[in-house]
Amino acid sequence: MATRSPPSKSPWSWRSRAFRGLVYQLVAFAVIALVIWFLASNTLHNMRVRGIQSGFDFLSQSAGFSIGESLFAFDSAESYWRAFLVGIVNTLRVAVAGIFLATVLGTLVGVGRFSRNALVRGLCAAYVECFRNVPVLLHLLMWYLVLTEMLPSIQDAWKFGPFFLSKGGVNFPVPIWQAGQAWAAGGVVAGVVLAWLYRRWALKRFEATGIAASMFWAPVAIVIAAGLLGWLAGGAPTLVDSPVKGEFAVENGGALTPEFLALLIGLTTYTASFIAEVVRSGIASVPAGQSEAAAALGLDRGLDIRLVMMPQALRVVIPPMTNQYLNLTKNSSLAVAIGYPDVVSIANTAMNQTGRAVECIAIVMAVYLTLSLLTSAFMNWYNARVAIKER
Amino acid sequence: MSATSFQPIAARPAPTDSRSLPAWLRRNLFGDWKTAGSTIVLGALLLWFVPQFLNWSLLQAVWAPDLKACRAAEGVGACWGVVAEKFRLIIFGRYPFGEQWRPLVATALMLAMLVASCTRPLWKPWLAVLWVVVLAVFFVLMYGNTLGLTKVETDRWGGLPLTILLATLSILMAFPIALAVALGRRSDLPAIRVFCTLYVELIRGVPLISVLFMASFMFPLFMPQGLTIDVLIRVLVGMTLFAAAYLAEVIRGGLQAIPKGQIEAAATLGLSYWQIQRKIVLPQALAMVVPSIVNSFISIFKDTSLVSIVSLYDLTGALDMAINADANWKPFKLQGYLFIALIYFIFCFSMSRYSQWVEKQVNKSKGR
């Protein structure tokens, strides 16, 4: 009996899945390439017709505008790429400070929603609802208005100890850099190393003998003590550059402008309301039995939260928390609305002066994409660290 | 064996009342000394702050558009007169004064449609047709130039109608794009998957304001010579592309939640790829992500305020324009901001309540 072989199939039949898939992909590729070619050729044509120059050579030209605040000196004769650098540093400054403060505030509010006190619960819920249901731009505009209109003028600034608060922002004392400060800084670094060694030793001893040692306050005390020792060894310098009220402005000392403060407070309070929800859902995802079991083992509420609830909640919390950090960084671009010189408002100014819209927007997008990718990469690394170690 | 007579033990005391209001207060406000302490501190702060705030915002406030009274009350009471004075400008922007019934009717229609779309019994195919009709009526009412209505150029549209139009239209147009991109990201075809992933990650990596700048500054360069596109449409395209990337991720989350066994079972029954998606995967996935879609709508609604930076007069932009133009009322701008913040709050809060309600319904149907 002859065995019947299955009918031979040509791979290039319209009926084969592989062939159809190839055709679909080729069509998609062609369509996208066509659209890009259409847009690019239009752009090039339009630029030629309107006499717009293109290219990134403008970056080395003199910028010709001054920037209100920057971490390093910048004057209007310097080049565009220096101006962009100032903008990027300003963006990073507000984003890093905002992420830190929003995490602290958001975690407090999120944990507060599980308080035994009904008043605390209610206030935390009200905070979340009030802040996250209003656009962040409106937050920023309101804070900017409050900081620049409602505060006293610079001449009669409010004085709290060595701090001044006025329409000109906040002025605060900064220690003057002396040789002794280097000793103190060295002491703090040595303290951090010592504290790390202490924690390793304490953990080993705990695992070997079961004798628990202080894992938080003792390291903190070590760092502070080492810093103090270094400071004393350096001759205990106490020279401080305090702000003084001058005739027209508050002089000397460090200062934060109202633009920076409005952006920082607005972004922090807005993002904190989202972080609070993230933390709340993280804690809610841990079964109540875990908390009851911890109580049955004799852990008090604080230890229960720190040792049992938090490590489990953290796994749920980190991916959405990453999104909130990215959102805060991206929302810092709204600085353009209140005149804080971040990278978007520098790009906006450069765009108006040179007319190179394509290049300036490309720079802004590249900066934010890089920041987003770096933040995601870091958070993914951290997430992998706290994830459950499975075999 | 002697029979012992039945000896009842003493009755247990009744359980302490834990449901009445005093008992609840005792437990939740004065449960232990820590709770009691924070209650006293917070209570004192509230007792100090709330009456002052009520006094400023309600009791001592000036409600009439009376500049003299407002100036007299400065620092003591709020001046809601600024809202009374500029009400029409804030709500309708620069729309011609005599024609403002048109945006009013159009917006009311749009809102009614939004509410209808939130009602589950109305989730039928004809709802989509109705949406097209309502949008057409909206544009005819706003733009005019037919049926005896005078023509109103789009650069005079503004205020709340513009905010609602931008949010609704961008999410509606983003939905089909998002659906395609979400399916594409899970496709077996590598080229399509790469394109979709690139699109989503590129858009999600940049802030909306840069997309809007692109729409208003670069878009004209992209178009063939001589073809100018209205700034409203350019901004709408930008917001749609932006919303689509976020919505695609939401929908992808729903697609991932469908067990693979269902797709394999459907393939075994002989259904094609599109039949599987249409009859098995999408109905379940979309029903699951309705709350997240509503949340995306909330964030797009809030993000419409950014169009005021590229000089469209939405609610935020209209307020700025209304008050900055009049030096007399400028000192009372904060009250104006609070007023529009309240409008945004009412919209976003009710939508988030709706999304929570839907979430409960979905969970209930799953028997969780």
**pLDDT tens per residue, range B163-205:** 999 999 999 899 999 999 999 888 888 888 888 888 988 888 8
Tokens 């915002």 correspond to what residue? B57
Distances (CA, A) of B258 to B180, B248, B253, B292: 17, 16, 9, 16
Nearest beta carbon to residue A133 from set B218, B221, B345: B345
Residue B308, chain A, CB below 8 Å: the answer is: yes
Reported in sequence order, the residue ranges of A11-96 that DSSP labels E, i.e. its strands, are: none
pLDDT, one tens digit per residue, over B148-162 is 777 777 778 888 888
> Among the listed ranges A9-18, A214-223, B3-12, B267-276, which one has the minimum average pLDDT value?
A9-18
pLDDT category of residue B57 using cuts at 50, 70 and 90: confident
pLDDT at A388: 64
Question: Are the beta carbons of A137 and B224 separated by less than 8 Å?
Answer: no
pLDDT at A6: 66
Residue B43, chain A, CB below 8 Å: the answer is: yes
Nearest beta carbon to residue B334 from set A119, A145, A334: A145
Average pLDDT, chain A: 83
Question: Are the beta carbons of B210 and A43 separated by less than 8 Å?
Answer: no
Tokens 């911890």 correspond to what residue? A294
Residue B314, chain A, CB below 8 Å: the answer is: no
pLDDT category of residue A233 using cuts at 50, 70 and 90: confident
Residues B221, A46: contact at Cβ < 8 Å? yes
Residue B219, chain A, CB below 8 Å: the answer is: no
pLDDT at A2 over 60: no
Q: Where are chain B's structural domains?
A: 96-152, 157-261+291-365
Residue of A110, A121, A96 lying closest to A267 (CA atoms): A96
- Considering the four listed CATH numbers 2.40.50.140, 3.30.390.50, 1.10.3720.10, 3.30.1330.200, the one that applies to the domain covering B157-261+291-365 is 1.10.3720.10
Residue B52, chain A, CB below 8 Å: the answer is: no
pLDDT, one tens digit per residue, over A260-292 is 999 999 999 999 999 999 998 888 888 888 889
Question: Are the beta carbons of A365 and B225 separated by less than 8 Å?
Answer: no
pLDDT at A265: 93
3-state SS, one letter per residue, for chain B: CCCCCCCCCCCCCCCCCCCCHHHHHHHHHHCCHHHHHHHHHHHHHHHHHHHHHHHHHHHCCECCCCHHHHHHHCCCCCECHHHHHHHHHHHHCCCCHHHCHHHHHHHHHHHHHHHHHCCHHHCCHHHHHHHHHHHHHHHHHHHCCCCCCCCCCHHHCCHHHHHHHHHHHHHHHHHHHHHHHHHHHCCCCHHHHHHHHHHHHHHHHCCHHHHHHHHHHHHHHHCCCCCCCCHHHHHHHHHHHHHHHHHHHHHHHHHHCCCHHHHHHHHHCCCCHHHHHHHHHHHHHHHHHHHHHHHHHHHHHHHHHHHHCCCCCEHHHHHHHHHHCCCCCHHHHHHHHHHHHHHHHHHHHHHHHHHHHHHHHHHHHCCC
Stretch (H or E) spanning A108? helix A80-112
- DSSP 3-state assignment of A254? strand
- Residue of higher predicted confidence among B368 and B56: B56
pLDDT at B291 over 80: yes
> What is the CATH code for A80-173+252-386?
1.10.3720.10
pLDDT at B368: 46
Residue B340, chain A, CB below 8 Å: the answer is: yes
Q: What is the ipTM of this complex?
A: 0.86
pLDDT at A103: 92
pLDDT at B310: 85
Nearest beta carbon to residue B221 from set A46, A129, A336: A46
Select from B197, B306, B311, B342 the residue whose CB has the most chain A CBs within 10 Å, as the one to mutate to test that interface: B306
Tokens for B368? Answer: 């969780």
